[in-house]
Each structure stands twice: as C-alpha cells, then as structure tokens.
A and B are shown apart, each in its own frame.
Chain A
Amino acid sequence: MKRNGVKHDFPISLYERSIMVSRSDALIEASRRAQRKNSLLEFGILLPALIFYIAFVIFPLLGGFFYSLTDWNGVSGNFNIVHIQNYGMILKDRYVLEPLMNTFIYAFATTILLNLFGLAMALGAERVCFGKNAFRTLFFIPSVLSAIVVGYIFNFLFSSVLSGVGKNLNWPAMANNLLGDKQYALAMGILVATWKGAGWYMVIYIAGLQGIDQSLYDAADIDGATGWKKFRYVTFPLLAPAFTINMVLAAERAFKEYDLVFALTGGGPGRASELISMTIYNESFTNKRAGYGSALGIVLFLIIVAITLFQMKVLRGREDNARD
C-alpha cells in the first residue's frame, strides 16, 4: 500500500486512520489556538502605541483636513464649510507660493548637502587610523543639539564673529550680517542646517559601510582598482540602502523644517527665508486664518508623501540595480 508516496508494508485500519485524522485535527486546532493567542498578545502589545498613534497623528490629521474645508479663524466658535475654496486660493496666492519655492530650494539643497557631507564624513571617519570614535563623536554632536539653540548660536556668530571677518575681508554683505541680506539669508539657513544635520546622516552611512564585505575590496585591489574606482564600483552601489534612507529622511525633514530657520532668520529679511511651515504658522495663528493654514498643512503633507513615494520608487530601483 502506498500513501503519501511512501510505501507501507501493512494496511491501516479505518479505526487507526480515524484516530490519526482526529489527532491531526486536534493538533491543527491547537496550533491555530496558539497562533490566535500569539496574535492577540501581539495586538495587545501594539495597542497602546496604536492608541497614541490614532490620538496624536490620525485624529489631528483628520481634524486638520476637516478644518481645511472651513473658514475657521482660530478664535471663533463658529465657522462655515467652504469646501475646497482654501485649496483653490493656495494656487494663486503669491504670498504662499514664494515661501513654497523657498522650501523647495531649501529641501533640494539640504538633501544634497547633508548626504554629500554625511557620506564624506563617514568615509573620512572610517579611514582615519587614530581617534576614529573621537571623530565620529565630534561630527555627531551638532545633530543632538537643539535646533533652536543652534539657530541662536549661529545668529550670534553671524552678527559678531563672521561680521568681523567680513569687515577684514572688506565684504560689506558679510560685514553687515549675511542673515540680513535677502540674497544670502536662505543660503545661510541651508549651510547651518547642513552643519547641524550631517553628523546624523554620517552615522547611517557608517552603518552601511560596515556592512560591506572586505573581500570585495580585496578583489578590487587584485583587479588593480584605484581608490575612486573602488568607491564608484564597490562602496557607492553597496551603500544604496543607506543612501535611500538618508535621501528620503533628509527631504522629508527639510520640508518640515521650522525651528532652525525661525531661530536663525525668523523668515526674514522680509520673507526672503520664509519656509512654508512658517507660512502655515503665520496664516493659522498670526493672520487668524486657521482654516487656510490647515489647508496649507494638508498640501505640505501631500507634497511630502508624493516626494517620498517618488524617491522610494527611484532609489529602490537603484538598490535593485546595485544588487544585480
């Protein structure tokens, strides 16, 4: 007799078969029960976080979306539903489009610079023979400082130390404080953000570098690859996952930036360095247009989601190519 591809020398009686079936049913049932119990336990562990997430993320998001459809001024107990009128106004409001453009410039520049410097610092810190940890710590410290504190410190540096340097260099814009010059204020914000954040991205790149198999470099050495070629054909492709994370996070954070630029320039002079997050705040709280401010918040959210998805698609493709 052959059963399940195994030849048995003796037949199994119906009784024995029924016992086996009932036993396997019981085992399956027990395993399901255990699985259900595990799922319940996992859900129970997840529940507090889920409750907080719903209360502090989903609920305000839905609330923000609701208010974006109203003309609420942030003070009154009454408001009217204006449907998508706020969204329509955004498209032709140059006092919103200008800060939005500043935000795109800021996000583009900081994303590039943070990754460039983060990677350079990671490679440098990994290569030094002595004081590797000291360098890593030194580079990482600015990223643990409060953005507000960094903003105020640099504000002071620009108005005193760098102003003195500008006087010596006979460069009036620097001598009179670069933060007060409409041409340079946003650029200075980008530079300070890079100084503050690059260390954080360096850590991710260091983790990526440490995951690269040394034998690949040995093989490249045998093939006579130079330092640049090793970086171009070994290091950089294999850093793809770290690169993806860093690019996505840098862009997302840049679009949400508020505190650093607020402390540094306050969005000025005029609106030269105003980012969209500041416009959202000003419209909501200063101009008493909470409905319009909420609509701007939702638009910013959608921009971030769209850019993140686009980056993920492009960079994941690059990761796949690197793996191939």
Chain B
Amino acid sequence: MKRIDIDTFVIYTVFIKKPHKTYDFKRFRKERSMKKTLTILLCAILVIGTFLGSISVATAEELSGSFHILAGVTSSLGLKAVFAEYQKTHPNVEMDLVTFETVTDFETLMTTAIASNTMPDMYIHQLSSVTTQYAQEGYLMDLGAAGVMDQLIDGDTSLIKYNDWYFAFPMTTAVSVTLCNKDVLDSLGIELTVDNYPKSMDEFIALLQEVREKGIEYPYGIAGADASSCTAWPFQYMYQVIYGKDPNFYANVLKGEKTWDGEEFRGMFVDYDKIREYVSLDSTAKNMDSLIGDFIMGKTVFYNHVGTGVKNIHVMDPDINILLLPSSFTADPADQTIISGFDEAFSITTAAANPELCVDFLKYCVSPEGSTIFNDVTGYIPTTKGCTSHVDPAYDIVMQVMQAGLLPNSPILSRQWIAGYKELLKSGCQNWMAGESVDSIVTSISEQHTRLMDADPEWVQNFLSSYQWK
C-alpha cells in the first residue's frame, strides 16, 4: 500500500466518504487526481474564455456591461423605449432601471445611496436645488467634458450648471399650465383659442363662472392630499404675481428683508379664496388619481399642474382631448407670463462603474434619433437639436405662445427653494383648505421656513452668495 497524506485522508473520509475499514487508497488517489485535472481544466477554460471574450470585445470596439439608472414613472417608459433601440447596436449592454414615483422618493433613494456609497450610475430627474447640491458635493460628472451639451437647445441653464460646468442634460421643457378638459368645454360651447383664453385672474374667474352657469358646479379641481397638486396653484401664482412684483422676493426672504407673513404672500390666499368657491368641498383629502378621475369624467374641468401631467391622463383615457393654457393669475393681462423651464434632466454620477458606457448611452438618448423616441413616448416638449418628436395637441396654445414669443418667460424651477419648503407650503395649503385662518397659516409657514433656514445656514449662505440680483 502506498503512503497517503493523513490530512487528505481525514478530510476525505470525514467529509466526503464515511470511513471504511477496508478502504481502497489506490482508487482514492485516482479519483483525487482526476478531480484535480478536471479543476485545472475548468479554470483553464474560464481563463481562456475570458481572455478570448475580452479580445473579441476589444476588436469589435463594442461596449459591454450594465448600468444602473433611476428614473420617474414617465421617464422610465421613455428610457425603456430608447434602450430597446440602443440595445440593437449594443447587444452586450444591460440597463438596470429603478423607477421612483415622487421627488421625495428620489431624494430618499439618493440619500440612502450616498450614505451607503451605492449611488446609481445615472439618473433622470426634475432639476431642483437638491440636484445642484449633488453637483456641489462632487457627486456628478461634467457632461460638458463628455461632449453632449452641444445637443441642447438654447435656454436658461442656471439649474444645470455649477461653477461653469454642466452636471445635467435636460430632456424636456416643462410648462406650468392650467389643464382644461376640452371635450367638456366643447360640449358646453366654449371654444378657447390663443386670442380668447383667459389672460388675467378676473378673466379666469369669469370662465369658471361661465362653466358653472352651464351646469358644472365645481369646475376647478385640487387634489389636496397631493403635494404637487396642492402647491401647483400657489407656485404658479408666486412665479407670476409675487415674482412679477419683486423678482428678488425669495432672496429677500432669505436675507431677512421680507417674510412669508408679509402682504405679498398673504395676498396669494386672498386670490386663492376667489378660486376656492369653484372647488368641490371634498378636495382636501383628494389624491391625484381621484382628481384625474374627476377630470376625465367631466366633474372637474380645470386644474393647475405641470404640462407633463397630460401623459398621465392619457394613460387613463387615451381618447380625452385636453387643452393646456398659460397660467393667468395676474390682475393685469399685460403682466401675464408663461411659466416654463428645463426639466427632467440626465446626470451621470462620479460613482459610475462604467462611465464610458453611461456617456455613450446618454449620447444616444440626446441624439436626434434617441430623443425623438424618448419624447414620443413621454410626450415631453423636446430640448434636443434635431428632435422630431410629436408634441401632444394639448400644447397647441402653449406652443403658439412660446414660439411666437407672445409672453415673457417666468422660469419654472429656476427659483430655488430651501429643502422642505414645498412640504411646508403643502401643509399650509391643506390647513387653509381645511378652514384654518390665513393669519395662522402664513405665520406658521414663516416660522417653519425660519426653522429650515436655521437648520441649514450653509445653504442660505451659498444661495445668497451666488444669487444674481435682478
């Protein structure tokens, strides 16, 4: 009998085979050597396979791998369509898409990702002060250096630039509007054109009254439980009326020269009260789906939101005809503005595992071909050169106004707010809808805003130091 290493024997007998008094060591050695040979062969195949694979990738100069991207619901649909096309020429690329629903969901995902060092490779999200903060913290790549910014049409770039470098590529121009159910208006014999649509608060109220007289008791809708819907009208009012009177309003608030309980902001609730008469009494707890449901059924004819909401309505009712109108909340029609600005922008994070791949995909997304697919699916107003996507007819009046330059632009989202402001405005509006007095609401908003400023003095300082006074 040949000598055998005792450790091997023990391992073999204890873990692989039960000990046996008349064990055949010759067979054991043979089996062991066979296993060794097989293992070496397998390793060799793997190494050679990887080597050959890398050669084939290199020779074809084809990108491979996967990238992890975050996107909102509508943008996700667009991304899937664009990626399906992209994959035809890049079969070895995979997209790991995570869809979020709200701005808060996105910010929560990002905060946890930052804390755990697991940031996504890319994201497409609404531009805001928070995305600028990501750029300030060095989490985002310079897209100018990546050579994609040439594709962007002219526009206000204040929210996509930091220290003269671009950290985001916007895929749409968002317009804050009044959405109208055109089918209901047609049935009531009301035709709105670029000439006769309401251009001031009084004209809008008159339109609401006309619709009421023709049989719809509560023609204006608010989803009080939804932060975006609840704050849509106040934000539009602020952009048009408050900023119209004082373009530096927010900077003055941050500087301590103006307050939220001052006359300007108080005045907003006076005007909101004029509209409240046309809002159904069950609106405080209404969510966005219920509001859209009411809109489709014709119980509600008007509501204020961002124009991209058209897509969500068409998901529920593809046949409905919608009309978007520029907001009309100023007292004088001459002061009316159109509220629009770049929105839903791509960014690549500095944590991207495969930045070349991300840049390549982004280049495809912003190319005439990619952006046409993207905007056709999302229904967004395109921002890329050469894009030939179809814009929803709902935008007819808005597009005429924008293209003819009939109204000055009041940039949406370019107004940066301290983190948490939207939430406290939502609470204030809900309380107001629930019957709380204007005094109590503006005092509370003012107090809470000061609380947010005290919590983040650095943000206030940064805002004021980089603010361009108008």
* Pair B111/A158 contact, Cβ less than 8 Å: no
Say yes or no for A168: interface residue by CB 8 A criterion.
no
A contact residues, total (Cβ < 8 Å)? 38
Q: Which B405-437 residues sit within 8 Å CB-CB of chain A? A: 419-420, 423, 426-428, 430-431, 433-436
* Pair A180/B282 contact, Cβ less than 8 Å: yes
If A177-B282, A285-B108 touch, does A265 touch B434 (CB 8 Å cutoff)?
Answer: no
C-alpha spacing A290/B115, complex, angstroms: 10
Q: Which residue in chain B gives the minimum CB-CB distance to A281?
A: B108
B contact residues, total (Cβ < 8 Å)? 39
Q: Chain B: interface secondary structure?
A: helix
Name, among B133, B281, B285, B436, the residue most crowded by chain A CB atoms within 10 Å (CB to CB). B285
Which residues of chain B are within 8 angstroms of A210 by Cβ–Cβ distance?
none
A-B Cβ contacts below 8 A, count: 111
* Pair B427/A75 contact, Cβ less than 8 Å: no
* Pair A158/B285 contact, Cβ less than 8 Å: yes
Say yes or no for A237: interface residue by CB 8 A criterion.
no
Say yes or no for A287: interface residue by CB 8 A criterion.
yes
C-alpha spacing A256/B455, complex, angstroms: 25
C-alpha spacing A288/B423, complex, angstroms: 12
* Pair B107/A286 contact, Cβ less than 8 Å: yes
Q: How far is the CB of B9 from chain A (nearest CB, A)?
A: 22
Q: How far is the CB of B274 from chain A (nearest CB, A)?
A: 20
Q: Which of A73, A175, A272, A285 contacts B456 (CB 8 A)?
A: A73
Say yes or no for B224: interface residue by CB 8 A criterion.
yes
Q: Which of B134, B283, B434 contacts A181 (CB 8 A)?
A: B434
* Pair A287/B455 contact, Cβ less than 8 Å: yes
If A75-B133, A76-B137, A180-B224 touch, does A288 touch B430 (CB 8 Å cutoff)?
Answer: no
* Pair A159/B286 contact, Cβ less than 8 Å: yes
Say yes or no for A196: interface residue by CB 8 A criterion.
no
If A74-B115, A75-B134 touch, does A286 touch B423 (CB 8 Å cutoff)?
Answer: yes
* Pair B287/A155 contact, Cβ less than 8 Å: yes
* Pair A286/B287 contact, Cβ less than 8 Å: no
Q: Beyond A75-B114, A175-B282, A270-B431: 7 further Cβ-contacts under 8 Å?
A: A73-B419, A75-B111, A176-B281, A185-B285, A270-B434, A285-B111, A287-B423
In the assembled complex, 16 residue pairs joining A and B whose CB atoms fall closer than 8 Å, in A order, are A75-B111, A95-B451, A155-B287, A158-B285, A159-B282, A159-B290, A177-B286, A179-B225, A179-B285, A270-B431, A284-B111, A285-B107, A288-B419, A289-B455, A290-B111, A290-B115
7 residue pairs, one from A and one from B, having the closest CB atoms: A180-B284, A180-B285, A287-B420, A270-B431, A288-B419, A179-B285, A269-B430
